[in-house]
Structure 1
Amino acid sequence: MQESYLDVRGLQLCLCSWGPVDGDLILCIHGVLEHGAAWEEIARPLASMGYRVVAPDQRGHGRSQHVGMGGSYQLIDYLGDLDAIAFGTADLNAKALTDQPFILVGHSMGAVVAATFASVRPEKVKSLVLLEPVLPGEQKDDQTAQQIATHLDYLASPPQHQVFTDIQAAANRLRRLTPNLSEELALKHAQRLTEPCEGGVRWRWDPRLQIRTGIGLSGTAFNRDKYTQLLRQIKAPTTLVYGNNSNFNRAEDLALQQAAIPHAKTVKLSGGHNLHVDAPDAIVAIIANNRLKLKN
């Protein structure tokens, strides 16, 4: 795995990459509190097939820069970053990865980013794979005031990270959250996801990402109805992949997503929400098979 940094409108984003630079591009978008290197078990086999796999640490995550108190982690911010990463920016601070349509893969919140991007930039996405895609939360009118109050509280007193005694303790936490993560991978991820601090180590990601209102996937600006309208506009060949042991989607959520993208193929795999850990080989096969179909 190689790491490089890209200046996107003044924000330094870290890109993890595998495979030949002239290979067909597969862009992988991680979920909340994850990082680009989480795709490694999927990226390495694809790279050996000749693909170029790029997985950014999204803003505020991994080794990418935090936005600061005046910045935001809204959906439009993630979309703008993705647009710049793939196709560059007008001021040339970010050089384009490709000038051709590419395969786009997203997991969880990253699947929301990927699906929205495919909807608004249909000419840029050759194929779309959504792993455990989620829906924006449903908000009732009487919840608006509470949500604003929560956001104001978070601005007044930003959350702080827990301090771990050492990297091994952080790795143990990762394994508790994702039981199928091997000891070796947990330690590798923990080394990349932590930074030294007084008393031990702490997570690198921006602690404000813990506050749902700071991520902007719910609320009046972008609700479930608006999101499903965007899903209906997706034109790229799409595969929806769910874990049969996941508790992130209710049956009605799955039905709503599938109805919004009627041309999509739905696949159920053995595993939970973190399918890139639970079923990497199956995901590699899905992505590679989609590519073969596009060539034929």
Structure 2
Amino acid sequence: MPNFEHQLLPVNGITLSLYSAGPADGRPVWLLHGFPECWYSWRQQAEPLAAAGYRVLMPEMRGYGASSAPEAIEDYALLTLCGDIQAAMDSLGQTDACVIGHDWGAPVAWHLALLEPERIRALGAMSVPFGGRPKRPAIEIMREANAGRFNYILYFQEPGVAEAELDADLERSLRLLLSDLGDAVLRERPADSRLLDGLSESPALPGWCDAGEFAVYQRTFAAGGFRGPLNWYRNFTLNWQQTEHLAGRQIRQPTLFMVGDHDPVARLEAYTLKRMAELVPHLEQHRLPDCGHWLQNERPEQVNAQLLDFLARHYPA
């Protein structure tokens, strides 16, 4: 592994914890993690990207780790999350960049591409496809589609409820979400269920994460728990209101999208996956066989090969 540098950047009204690797004068590649992960989820991409000459930047996103975790739910709106990365790019003097996001990091990456068509030269996204701005807030659609049934995003909406469950045993919660995500989010059960009800009391670590690596994930959540990360899910209506000016826009940058064929999010987003090419005309899609949601760690060699090939063609170091 490379020697990671660490700095705390005052940006956008918060402190952003940022890890980096690779030559200081290399072209910047931002790697944005999702839920419930951390900057270290990109550990297997950092070394090959740095070795190829890129400046690799891995923030602890707002609400995670040593980055600020504001109290107000609206402080986790999507455009505010984008603003953190935009301000960090400004602070570092970056006039061009590639952004790659996984899970919740993917919507941030998608919207950075819309907001910064000149600065963001190439784009990568994993697991969460781009569907454009819906005609009404997605949370309204979810409530109608899941009436009487459990839905994890609807469960996350009431402040304090999911935190109480997940923070009660941080180690078990993280182990289950990293090893058994499909059961946690797709299992049919009544609407008043909890996320981890019926799952193992002593879950094993997934094969791609050993005890030392898992300790980094635990430290990320030890101080602030799940409150900040869960607040990302509580702004669907505000996100919809604030992105009216982006309605109908296409992603025009060269774009790489990867998803595991066993990813539960891919099942939930099947319709969006089918129509994404209409909204992203310069799209390259890859479905990784026998792979779940945590693809950059489950299949690092395949992911790295795709990333390096894509970058060499569209964003050479």
Shorter-chain TM-score above 0.5 = yes
Higher relative contact order (CA 8 A, sep 6+): 2
TM normalised by structure 2 equals 0.73
What do the CA deviations read for 1:135-163 (whole angstroms, capped 9, x no partner)? 583624986xx9xx9999527x7934524
Partner-residue secondary structure (3-state), 2:240: coil
Contact 1:62 1:205 (8 Å CA) reproduced: no
Report if the CA contact (8 A) 1:228-1:257 is conserved. Answer: no
Count of residue pairs brought into register by the alignment:
270
Whether 2:273 is the aligned partner of 1:254: answer yes
The DSSP-based 3-state class of the residue aligned with 1:139 is helix
Contact 2:123 2:253 in 1 (8 A): yes
CA contact (8 A) 1:171 1:186 kept: no
Shift of 1:247: 1.6
1:96 to 88, 92, 98: 92
Segment of structure 1 superposing worse, 65-74 or 1-10: 65-74
How far 1:33 moved relative to its partner? 2.6
Amino acid aligned to 2:313? K
2:223 maps to 1:219: no
2:119 — aligned with what?
124
Q: 2:46 aligns with which of 43, 65, 79?
A: 43
Tell me, in whole angstroms, the C-alpha distance in 1 between the residues paired with 2:229 and 2:142: 24
1:24 to 17, 21, 27: 27
Where 1:154 maps in the other structure, the secondary structure is coil
1:77 correspondence with 2:80: yes
Write the distance in 1 (CA, Å) between the matches of 2:69 and 2:252. Answer: 33
Distance 1:252 1:170, change over 3 A: closer
1:162 to 162, 167, 174: 167
State which of 103, 109, 115 in structure 2 corresponds to 1:108. 103
Output the amino acid matched with 2:49: L
1:286 alignment partner AA = Q
Structure 1 distance, partners of 2:245, 2:89, is 22
> Partner residue of 1:90?
none
Structure 1 residues 49 and 235, CA gap change in structure 2 (3 angstroms)? same
Give me the TM-score of the superposition, normalised by structure 1: 0.78
Note the C-alpha offset of 1:190. Answer: 3.3
Percent identity, please: 24
CA distance in 2, matches of 1:58, 1:103: 17
Residues 244, 50 of structure 1: alpha-carbon distance in 2 compared, 3 angstrom cutoff: same
Distance 1:20 1:154, change over 3 A: same
CA distance in 2, matches of 1:151, 1:174: 14
Q: Does 1:290 align with 2:285?
A: no
The structural deviation recorded for 1:258 is 2.5
Structure 2 counterpart of 1:83, which letter?
A: Q
Distance 1:290 1:16, change over 3 A: same
Aligned counterparts, 1:137-176, within 5 A: 137=138, 139-140=140-141, 154=159, 159-160=163-164, 162-164=167-169, 172-173=175-176, 176=179
Partner of 1:182: 209
Specify the code of the residue in structure 1 equivalent to 2:209.
Answer: S
Q: Is the 8 A contact 1:175 1:186 kept in 2?
A: no
Alpha-carbon deviation of 1:181? 2.3
Taking structure 1 as reference, are residues 172 and 246 closer, same or farther at Cα in structure 2, changes over 3 Å only?
A: closer
C-alpha displacement at 1:64, in angstroms?
0.8
Q: CA, structure 1 residues 51+152, in 2 after alignment: closer, same or farther (shift >3 Å)?
A: closer
Name the SS of the counterpart of 2:163 in structure 1: coil
Q: How far does the alpha carbon of each residue in 1:230-260 deviate from its partner, in whole angstroms, 9 at most, with x for none?
A: 5x42221111111111121243121122222
- Match for 1:14 among 11, 17, 21? 17
SS of 1:111 mapped into structure 2:
helix
Q: For residue 4 of structure 1, report the CA deviation from its aligned partner.
A: 1.1
Distance 2:287 2:162 in 1: 38
TM-aligned CA deviation for residue 18 of structure 1: 1.2
Where do 5+ consecutive residues of structure 1 fail to align?
88-94, 196-202
